């Protein structure tokens, strides 16, 4: 047996050789010996002290770790409780769900708190208008939405129902069309309960296609294509990323009667499904005949458009001409004159006189600017103007002139009668001088002075200069009269 102490570790720093620092140094390592070594009591004590220090360090570490774990659990619980907080944007409506039931159907924009998932949640539903454009539902398989119709490239031949989309009209003609649909989720809770699926756009497409097919099947090809020439069709334009976005359709894209029927049919189908969607607008953007015969349809439409324009011009000229003749009273006068003629032909003199009295009241201006009803026909504004008013005004002036002239002549006659009765000789001399003065004032009258009791034979011939002047004056008066008549016919002069 050897009482020697075990060798010291050469890696220990200075100051750790004695037993006083045993709590802060490693436990001595026994080196295997060939002989049996008896340990001293001090080494055993050092080992006990080291174990106690290690236990205290482990307990402190466990205590700190437990406190940290408690704090983390508290934070996790708080985060879990506040995980139901959700922000609702301006274009959204929030739906609060608790334990699988909707507890609030109309959460306005802002922050809202609900039970944490999966106990509950706040589901935002966008109510902004969405626009879906369908370019290939009813178009030729080789149709290029980015190209104009006249620039479309296609292989001539018959249509293939498996590849080419088309519409069948009421007169068994075929047509192509592109359309767009603007809709929104007007009832978010109903939408959440009845739809809320990623296949929402597919549903809208199917309903829109069905509505378009049913609507077009009830109109003729001419009625369908006429909307393109009446200004209700959205003009062809190149499709871009902005056009394919969910922007609202311009208010300028007004609906025709066909588009209104499409929208109403779509809305009826959606209401039956109770999915909370509302269709704002259905717009047929392009409507055209099959490309193989489109040129023929274009020529027919051009001729029809020209005929329509000619009818419109004729109608406008008719209204303009009648307005120039009788103003806004022409419509009532035409109807009343027709009624008057029919009543006379039927021998109904009493009713004819009554209609004639209404016509005369219009001529006299008694119904000027009034809204009246005649024989079941309503006329908004009766204003006699134009040539009729000019002629009637001239007739009234002429009547006043004739009456005034007759009254003046009567007064003159009464005055001259009084003068004649008082002194006939003086009256006759005065009248003779006045008549001679007027007679000599005429341009074609020439006076000659002749000696008393002389016998003179005078051969009188018209003065050529006077004749030429009179002829020129007559021609000028005739020209002015012709010009005045033309102005009256055009409603320019009076």
Model pLDDT for residues 433-446, shown as the tens digit of each residue:
888 888 888 877 77
Residue 9 forms part of a structural domain: no
Q: Is the pLDDT of residue 22 over 70?
A: no
pLDDT at 306: 87
106 to each of 90, 110, 125, 247, 277, how far by Cα in Å? 13, 12, 10, 25, 16
Q: Which residue has the higher pLDDT, 239 or 87?
A: 87
313 to each of 254, 318, 350, how far by Cα in Å? 26, 8, 40
Residue 6 forms part of a structural domain: no
Structure tokens at 3: 């009482």
For 165-177, the pLDDT digits (tens) are 888 888 888 888 8
Q: Is the pLDDT of residue 36 over 50?
A: no
Residue indicated by tokens 């008013």: 389
Mean pLDDT of the region 378-394:
79
Are 278 and 162 in the same domain?
yes
Residue indicated by tokens 């708080």: 78
Residue 298 forms part of a structural domain: no
Cβ atoms 114, 98 nearer than 8 A: yes
What pLDDT band is residue 209 in, cutting at 50, 70 and 90? very high
* Lowest mean pLDDT segment, chosen from 66-70, 147-151, 159-163, 399-403: 147-151
Residue 249 forms part of a structural domain: yes
Are 419 and 371 in the same domain?
no
pLDDT at 256: 67
* Lowest mean pLDDT segment, chosen from 16-30, 320-334, 341-355: 16-30
Percent of the chain with pLDDT over 70: 78
Count: domains in the chain: 5
Q: Is the pLDDT of residue 38 over 60?
A: no
Which residues are registered as beta bridge partners of 11? none
Mean pLDDT of the region 26-55:
63
What pLDDT band is residue 255 in, cutting at 50, 70 and 90? low
Closest C-alpha to 384, from 336, 331, 341: 331
* Four-point Cα dihedral 29, 34, 38, 41, nearest 10: -10
Q: How many other C-beta atoms lie within 10 A of the C-beta of residue 338?
A: 11
Are 90 and 193 in the same domain?
no
Residue 366 forms part of a structural domain: yes
Residue 10 forms part of a structural domain: no
Rg (CA), the chain: 56
pLDDT at 253: 42
Q: What angle do CA 427, 428, 429 make, to 5 degrees?
A: 90
Residue indicated by tokens 């809305």: 267
pLDDT at 39: 52
Q: Is the pLDDT of residue 251 over 50?
A: no
Cis peptide bond N-terminal to 118, omega within 30 = yes
pLDDT at 212: 92
Structure tokens at 335: 């109807």
| DSSP character at residue 97 | E
What pLDDT band is residue 411 in, cutting at 50, 70 and 90? very high
Are 285 and 148 in the same domain?
yes
Cβ atoms 130, 182 nearer than 8 A: yes
Structure tokens at 233: 């069709």
Are 133 and 204 in the same domain?
yes
pLDDT at 440: 83
Q: Is the pLDDT of residue 420 over 50?
A: yes
What pLDDT band is residue 266 in, cutting at 50, 70 and 90? very high
For 358-368, the pLDDT digits (tens) are 888 888 877 77
Q: Which of 233, 267, 292 is the last residue of a domain?
A: 292
Are 177 and 277 in the same domain?
yes
Contacts of 146 (CB under 8 A, 6+ apart): 238, 239
pLDDT at 358: 83
For 110-164, the pLDDT digits (tens) are 777 777 777 777 778 888 889 998 888 888 777 777 667 666 666 666 677 777 8
257 to each of 196, 217, 232, how far by Cα in Å? 32, 14, 10
Cβ atoms 37, 9 nearer than 8 A: no
Cβ atoms 249, 181 nearer than 8 A: no
Q: Which residue has the higher pLDDT, 456 or 13?
A: 456
CA 488/CA 131 separation, integer angstroms? 60
Mean pLDDT of the region 484-490:
74
Q: Give the CATH number, domain containing residue 188.
A: 3.30.479.30
Helix (H, G, I), strand (E, B) or coil at 283: strand
Are 450 and 436 in the same domain?
yes
Residue 424 forms part of a structural domain: yes
Are 379 and 413 in the same domain?
no
Residue 14 forms part of a structural domain: no
Cβ atoms 23, 49 nearer than 8 A: yes
pLDDT at 305: 81
Are 166 and 279 in the same domain?
yes
Max CA distance (Å), the chain = 214
pLDDT at 2: 44
Q: Is the pLDDT of residue 17 over 70?
A: no
Are 322 and 267 in the same domain?
no
Closest C-alpha to 188, from 89, 265, 111: 89
CA 202/CA 180 separation, integer angstroms? 14
Closest C-alpha to 200, from 132, 246, 272: 132
Are 239 and 369 in the same domain?
no
3-state SS of the chain: helix, strand, coil percent to 5? 50, 15, 35
| DSSP character at residue 213 | H
Q: Which residue has the higher pLDDT, 88 or 231?
A: 88
Are 413 and 352 in the same domain?
no
CA 115/CA 82 separation, integer angstroms? 8
CA 17/CA 5 separation, integer angstroms? 12
Range of the domain at 384: 305-388
């Amino acid at each position: 047996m050897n009482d020697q102490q075990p060798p010291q570790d050469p890696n220990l720093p200075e100051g750790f050789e004695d037993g006083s620092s045993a709590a802060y140094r490693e436990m001595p390592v026994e080196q295997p010996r060939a002989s049996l070594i008896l340990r001293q009591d001090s080494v055993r004590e050092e080992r006990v002290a080291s174990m106690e220090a290690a236990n205290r360090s482990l307990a402190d570490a466990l205590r700190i770790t437990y406190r940290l774990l408690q704090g983390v659990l508290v934070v996790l619980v708080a985060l879990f409780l506040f995980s139901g907080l959700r922000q609702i944007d301006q274009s959204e409506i929030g739906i609060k769900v608790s334990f699988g039931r909707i507890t609030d159907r109309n959460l306005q924009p802002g922050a809202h708190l609900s039970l944490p998932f999966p106990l509950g949640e706040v589901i935002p539903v966008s109510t902004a208008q969405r626009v879906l454009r369908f370019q290939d539902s009813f178009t030729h398989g080789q149709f290029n939405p980015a190209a104009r119709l006249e620039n479309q490239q296609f292989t001539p031949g018959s249509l293939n129902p498996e590849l080419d989309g088309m519409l069948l009209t009421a007169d068994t003609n075929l047509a192509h069309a592109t359309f767009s649909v603007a809709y929104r989720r007007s009832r978010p809770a109903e939408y959440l309960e009845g739809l809320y699926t990623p296949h929402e756009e597919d549903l809208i497409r199917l309903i829109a296609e069905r509505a378009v097919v049913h609507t077009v099947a009830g109109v003729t090809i001419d009625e369908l294509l006429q909307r393109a020439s009446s200004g209700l069709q959205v003009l062809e334009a190149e499709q871009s990323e902005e056009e394919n976005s969910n922007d609202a359709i311009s208010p300028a894209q007004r609906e025709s009667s066909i588009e209104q029927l499409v929208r109403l049919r779509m809305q009826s189908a959606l209401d039956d499904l109770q999915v909370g969607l509302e269709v704002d607008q259905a717009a047929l953007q392009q409507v055209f005949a099959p490309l193989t015969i489109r040129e023929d349809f274009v020529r027919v439409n051009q001729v029809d458009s020209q005929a329509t324009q000619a009818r419109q011009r004729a109608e406008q000229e008719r209204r303009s001409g009648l307005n120039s003749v009788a103003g806004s009273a022409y419509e009532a006068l035409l109807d009343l004159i027709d009624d008057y003629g029919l009543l006379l032909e039927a021998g109904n003199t009493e009713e004819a006189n009554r209609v004639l009295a209404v016509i005369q009241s219009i001529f006299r201006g008694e119904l000027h600017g009034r809204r009246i009803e005649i024989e079941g026909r309503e006329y908004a504004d009766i204003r006699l103007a134009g040539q009729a008013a000019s002629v009637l005004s001239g007739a009234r002036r002429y009547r006043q002139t004739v009456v005034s002239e007759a009254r003046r002549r009567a007064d003159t006659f009464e005055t001259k009668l009084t003068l004649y009765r008082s002194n006939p000789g003086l009256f006759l001399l005065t009248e003779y001088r006045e008549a001679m003065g007027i007679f000599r004032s005429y341009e074609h009258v020439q006076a000659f002075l002749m000696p008393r009791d002389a016998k003179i034979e005078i051969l009188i011939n018209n003065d050529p200069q006077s004749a030429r002047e009179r002829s020129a004056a007559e021609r000028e008066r005739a020209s002015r009269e012709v010009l005045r008549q033309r102005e009256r016919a055009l409603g320019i002069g009076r």
